Amino acid sequence: MDIRYKQIFFDFDSTISKKEGIDVLSDIQGIDDVGKITQKGMEGQIDLKESYLKRTSKLSFPPSHMKIVSDVYIANLYPDVRETVNILKFFEKEVIVVSGGFYEAIEPV
């Protein structure tokens, strides 16, 4: 069976960049338990909605911090991610990047 996908989706955090933006933001703001909440969500100990709500309620999102997150993303791109995207585009695939909401931080990438 020949299945041809026209669109390829990537989750930005931990797929395109090695860093979880929400954890970087919590490090900048000195909030210790956000990474633990992220880990619980990734391990299935709490559901995605609960994880997201708990983490975002502890943080603020000033533009200066989002710029730092963007710089960290860029510095931590997975090797060959740009080449992978270019190859997919060469094969006429639409590459779509999804994120939990840090548009200001991922747009420069």
Q: Which residues are catalytic?
A: 11, 13
CA–CA separation, 25 and 10 (whole Å): 21
Spatial CB neighbours of 109, under 8 Å, sequence gap ≥ 6: 12, 16, 17, 70, 73, 74, 77
Cα-Cα-Cα-Cα torsion 28, 31, 36, 40, nearest 10 degrees, comes to -90
